[in-house]
Amino acid sequence: MRITSLIIALVTAGALATFGQEGAVETVKQGAKKTGQKIKEGVETVGEKTKKAAETVGEKTKETAQTVGKKTKEAVETHR
């Protein structure tokens, strides 16, 4: 009877350890999935901000080029 009780206790302990490990693995998977989603959202946000910044720089560069061209044309016409 003692041997049977010991075997049952060992099998139960082994089963509980296995279920505990599965729970830990699921917790890690869920954490990794959430972390991956946050990284993806962060990358998308950075991409959007970079695109807006590039558009702004492009507009400002175009405006500056037009202003320089206009001033150069005025200077040339003034010295004629």
pLDDT at 58: 93
pTM exceeds cut of 0.85 = no
CA distances from 32 to 11, 38, 43 (A): 31, 10, 16
Tell me the pLDDT band of 4, cut-offs 50, 70 and 90: confident
Residue 8 has pLDDT above 90, yes or no: no
pLDDT at 20: 65
pLDDT at 80: 67
